[in-house]
Homo-oligomer: A and B are copies of this chain.
Amino acid sequence: VEGNEVRAVLFDVFGTLVDWRGGVARELAAFGRERGVEADWNAFADAWRAAYVPSMERVRRGELPWMNLDELQTRSFIELAPRFGLPALDATEIRRCVDGWHRLDPWPGVRDGLELLRRDYVLATLSNGNLSLLIDLARRGDLRFDALLCSEVFRHYKPDPETYLGASAMLGLHPKNVVLVAAHAGDLRAAASQGLRTAFFARPNEFGSPEKADPAPRGEVDFVVANFGQLAKELATFPTGKRA
């Protein structure tokens, strides 16, 4: 590929394309109802998500051997469950709860938005989720990607450079011909430092209310969008340098 055009668009998944908080709380609530346990399931979802980054950090620093996200989520769940009235679960029950992350729904408009963009760009995920998790989410939401790229392929978690550079290389592209779309400033900063283009996709309700969402990193990303229509329009104007 010559020139600066955008050829491929990578998407972060949790928070950017799917509503992990609503879905995890719903799955935990259903399990709690069956067991006759009441708890603040949104708070459980938040606590579980809060354990996500530190658990990956331990793998990134080499304190834990490589393990995929399902395995990390299992460890975090076992630690958290007793605090929410769920002690002494057996392996099948634990598995069922962790599998709740495989049953998350996309935000409205994601399916059709991807369909539209896929006419002009190669679309792939770039997620810290493992492959089987991404397959289940894509099948559930009827989300069509050209490829599912994830931490498990590179055996590195974002924001390790191996993920951004590995994804670009496997797409056969220079990083400048690839855009990462995410609702998280840190992910985008790391991608930009490796030469990728970046788009911040605002998801004000990812953490339940807008004041808890990641603020748009204006000036640090190529552009900021709030929906797929805006994303398509911005992508169509590339390359024009930093505009946000």
How far is B144's CA from A138's CA once the two chains are assembled, in angstroms?
A: 12
Partner of A172, one of B70, B122, B172: B70
- The B-contacting residues of A in range 165-194, CB under 8 angstroms, are 170-173
Partner of A170, one of B122, B139, B147, B152: B152
Q: Does A236 contact B (CB under 8 A)?
A: no
Q: Count chain A residues whose beta carbon lies closer than 8 angstroms to a beta carbon of B.
A: 19
Q: Could you mark each residue 134-154 of chain A with 1 if its beta carbon is under 8 Å from any beta carbon of chain B, else 0?
A: 110011000010111000110
Q: Does A132 contact B (CB under 8 A)?
A: yes
Q: Does A97 contact B (CB under 8 A)?
A: no
B146 close to A147 (CB less than 8 A) = no
- Given A135-B147, A146-B135, A130–B170 Cβ distance below 8 Å? yes
A171 close to B122 (CB less than 8 A) = no
Within 8 Å CB of A173, what residues of B? 132
* A87 CB, min distance to chain B CBs, angstroms: 26
How many copies are assembled? 2
Q: Does A86 contact B (CB under 8 A)?
A: no
- Given A139-B146, A147-B148, A148-B147, A132–B70 Cβ distance below 8 Å? no
* A190 CB, min distance to chain B CBs, angstroms: 22
Chain B, residue nearest A118 (CB): B139
- The B-contacting residues of A in range 91-111, CB under 8 angstroms, are none
Chain B, residue nearest A131 (CB): B170
* A61 CB, min distance to chain B CBs, angstroms: 24
Partner of A146, one of B138, B171, B172: B138
Partner of A144, one of B130, B134, B144, B147: B144
Residue numbers of A with Cβ under 8 A of B are 70, 122, 130-132, 134-135, 138-139, 144, 146-148, 152-153, 170-173
